[in-house]
A and B are shown apart, each in its own frame.
Chain A
Amino acid sequence: MSGYVAVGWNRTKYIYDGILIAGVVTYIAAFMGIEAWLHPPKAQPEWIDLRIKALGTCAFLMLTIILSIGPLARLDPRFLPLLYNRRHFGVLMFLVAAVHAWSMVEWFWVQDALPSLVDEFTAWPNYLKFIGFPFKALGLVALFIFFLMASTSHDYWLAVLKPPVWKALHMAVYAAYGIVVIHVSLGAVQRDRGLFLPILLGTSLAIVAILHLIAGARGRPIDRGIAANSDGWIPIGPPRSIPDKGAKIVAAPGGERIAVFRDGNEIGAITNVCAHQNGPVGEGKIIDGLITCPWHGYQYQLKNGCAPPPFTEKLPTYRVRLKGGIVEVDPRALPAGTPASVKVPLKA
């Protein structure tokens, strides 16, 4: 738990959350309004059924957007602001999905049919079928995964579990997404004959899968690494090939990524892995003289990889040098916080 500092609320977070909540309320109101106008519900269970559909499609759309934010931000930095508060997006999605599940229980309850719901879950032979599988059980499994993720989304749990474990736990969202697609396919798609749901599912699946595949392929060349010189140093290029206030990301074959930053004539190299959530520090910029992670704004000094006081995070640094007009980096990491930046002459 040492080192945990609660991240305070700020104006950007309030705006982000305000837009999220307004979007959810608008979607649900519009969905229910249009559906009620087209097919007016006659009794209370039909109203609840309408609410189940509105909340279910809303949660699924939110999940699609949440899963698209990561690869979109890697492909185009303009999407980075969406990543900033993605955890709140996830928690709100869980709440919408939880009300969707509760509405389903309510649908049985108002008709004094709760035993039928229990029967659906305990019809064991149906678990061996494909069409006819108890799809509500799939929804429950996905909801449980979302609950685990929402309840551990706070930075407190990130500090307790440490970023690698926390990230691995949160990768369960991919499995949950697959489960949700099959939950809807075996449930509502079997009952409703319209095209809306198949199109919604197919489009979502195509967008999410293609974005992840493209983003993964885009990063592959960096991970292949650059062959080192005879003395083990990796050539980066002339100083000006590193964008001012930005970085070039490189890796030794089989090694972790290194971000080589330039701030004017000062060049320094740190690990590309942020101490907060393992974010790609090298995709960030130098703001107010500090390397700033693009994910959540964690900052580090170029000279030694240390966060500015009072923060205590430190990143491993790498030795850099200028040899024959080419910047080179030694891929053997120095202990976190070791000063290693150098000043180089800049040719016009």
Chain B
Amino acid sequence: MRRPHRKAHRMIWPVLALAVLFGFAMTLVLRPPAEPAPPPTQEQRR
């Protein structure tokens, strides 16, 4: 690798890692709550 390539690597990785980590964390934080399980029917109760 040449110097500019290494420099690009060193600049890109911290930014990319932080951006992707932030996006990933936000998808977990904003994830809609799980839908509640449907109530059992009369037939199942029997």
Give the CA-CA distance A22 to B15 in the complex, in Å: 36
Evaluate contact between A182 and B5: CB separation under 8 angstroms.
no
Contact with A along B1-14 (1 / 0, CB 8 A): 11101101110111
Contact A171 B8, CB 8 Å, known A193-B34, A201-B24: yes
Evaluate contact between A190 and B32: CB separation under 8 angstroms.
yes
B26 to A: closest C-beta gap in Å:
7
Evaluate contact between A213 and B17: CB separation under 8 angstroms.
yes
Name the residue of chain A whose CB is nearest to the CB of B19.
A178
Check: A9 CB closer than 8 A to any chain B CB: no
Evaluate contact between A190 and B6: CB separation under 8 angstroms.
no
A251 neighbours in B (Cβ, 8 Å): 3
Check: A101 CB closer than 8 A to any chain B CB: no
Interface of A is mostly: helix
Give the CA-CA distance A177 to B6 in the complex, in Å: 19
B21 neighbours in A (Cβ, 8 Å): 205, 209
How many residues of chain A get a CB closer than 8 Å to chain B's CBs?
37
- Please tell me which stretch of A90-98, A110-118, A216-224, A240-248 contacts chain B, meaning at least 4 of its Cβ atoms lie within 8 angstroms of it: A216-224
Give the CA-CA distance A174 to B5 in the complex, in Å: 13
Contact of A278 among B2, B13, B19 (CB under 8 A): B2
Contact A273 B23, CB 8 Å, known A131-B31, A178-B16, A212-B13: no
A193 neighbours in B (Cβ, 8 Å): 34
Evaluate contact between A181 and B23: CB separation under 8 angstroms.
yes
A198 neighbours in B (Cβ, 8 Å): 28
Check: A28 CB closer than 8 A to any chain B CB: no
A130 to B: closest C-beta gap in Å:
7
Name the residue of chain B whose CB is nearest to the CB of A135.
B27
A273 neighbours in B (Cβ, 8 Å): 1-2
Interface of B is mostly: helix
Interface size class of B (residues with CB under 8 A): 20 to 34
Evaluate contact between A220 and B10: CB separation under 8 angstroms.
yes
Contact A174 B24, CB 8 Å, known A164-B2, A223-B3, A256-B3: no
Q: Which parts of B14-46 form the interface with A (CB within 8 Å)?
A: 14, 16-17, 19-21, 23-24, 26-28, 30-32, 34
Check: A257 CB closer than 8 A to any chain B CB: yes
Contact of B24 among A167, A182, A190, A208 (CB under 8 A): A182
Evaluate contact between A185 and B28: CB separation under 8 angstroms.
yes
Q: Which parts of A263-297 form the interface with B (CB within 8 Å)?
A: 273, 278-280
B18 to A: closest C-beta gap in Å:
9
Evaluate contact between A185 and B30: CB separation under 8 angstroms.
no
A182 neighbours in B (Cβ, 8 Å): 20, 23-24, 27
16 residue pairs of the A-B complex, CB under 8 angstroms, read: A130-B26, A131-B27, A164-B2, A167-B5, A171-B5, A178-B23, A182-B20, A185-B28, A189-B27, A189-B31, A190-B32, A198-B28, A205-B24, A223-B3, A257-B3, A279-B1
Q: Which 5 A-B pairs have the closest CB atoms?
A: A209-B17, A185-B27, A212-B13, A178-B20, A216-B10
Known: A182-B24, A205-B20, A209-B16. 5 other contacts (CB 8 A): A174-B16, A182-B23, A185-B28, A198-B28, A216-B13
**A interface with B by C-beta (< 8 Å):** 130-131, 164, 167-168, 171, 174-175, 177-178, 181-182, 185-186, 189-190, 193, 198, 201-202, 205, 208-209, 212-213, 216, 219-220, 223, 251, 255-257, 273, 278-280
